[in-house]
Amino acid sequence: MLEIDKLEKILVGLKRVVDYNVRVRVKADASGVETDGVKMSINPFDEIALEEALRIKERGEADEVVVVSMGRTECQQQLRTGLAMGADRAILVESDDEIDSLTGAKILLALVEREHPGLVILGKQAIDNDNNQTGQMLAALWDRPQATFASELTISGDSATVTREVDVGLETIEIDLPAVVTADLRLNEPRYVKLPDIMKAKKKPLDIVPLADLSVAPAPRLTSVEYTAPEQRQKGVIVDDVAGLVAALKEKGLA
């Protein structure tokens, strides 16, 4: 077990997604989700992950918080927001290719091997695809402990105590560091970014690393053939009694 008095570095992943307040629309040619002219933001669970990393640093339990994103140049916008929240520096792994969960985990592993963080915190899932895979894959590739769905996180020397949200309630576990933790909704409430912090963020370092420099080749294992919007919900009917309910269900072939 590694002896750690204080975390030298925390690595946090930030994904660019359609803002959660925006109504998602499918493109006219059904090739994907419409993003032109649409507000883009940090994935909400990633924002929670960053907030937790910043709180750990503010308690004096870490020296540096590094935010990471992967994708096109536009992802710099979300990294700058992360810097405005309080991260010390940012890394963009630039690629025009689609990055799936496993490729994302391999990219994070390459950065972990470069940066040597004592802790990696990710959102439990991204709201655009809901895969909930990258954190677990990174832990497996890195061969380090993981604690997913965290609603409470406490750092103590070379270990962390994590309260997890599981199907039957809450589970508390202790893991050795370095490790991977994925943030759930109730871990914290992210801070509001103020204008002076946005201005300061422009001077913070943001490194751009071409994907090829990490010796990771994007190799999507799934191909999306077509996107369709969900059918509009049908108008409900009011029934007078149980017999009427059963009759209505039979009419729809549900009973």
The predicted-structure confidence for 144-179, as pLDDT tens digits, reads as follows 999 999 999 999 989 999 999 999 999 999 999 999
Q: Are 70 and 76 in contact (CB under 8 A)?
A: no
Cβ contacts of 104 within 8 Å, gap of 6 or more: 13, 70, 134, 137
Report the largest interatomic distance among the alpha carbons of the chain, rounded to a whole angstrom. 70
Model pTM score: 0.87
C-alpha distance across the termini of the chain, in Å: 59
How many other C-beta atoms lie within 10 A of the C-beta of residue 88?
16
Q: Are 105 and 138 in contact (CB under 8 A)?
A: yes
Q: What is the pLDDT of residues 12-35, one digit of tens each?
A: 999 999 999 988 888 888 888 888
* Mean pLDDT on 217-245: 84
User: In this predicted structure, which of 63-72, 95-104, 109-118 has the lowest mean pLDDT?
Assistant: 95-104
More confident residue, 4 or 167: 167
Q: What is the pLDDT of residues 177-230, one digit of tens each?
A: 999 999 999 999 999 999 999 999 999 999 999 999 999 988 878 888 888 888
Q: Are 225 and 30 in contact (CB under 8 A)?
A: no
> Residue 1 — pLDDT band, cuts 50, 70, 90?
very low
For the chain, the C-alpha Rg in angstroms (whole number) is 21
The residue with tokens 């496993």 is 102
> Residue 62 — pLDDT band, cuts 50, 70, 90?
very high
Domain 10-221 belongs to what architecture? 3-Layer(aba) Sandwich (3.40)
Q: Is the pLDDT of residue 255 over 60?
A: yes
Rama region for 123: left / alpha / beta (φ>0; ψ in -120 to 50; rest): beta
Q: Are 136 and 143 in contact (CB under 8 A)?
A: no
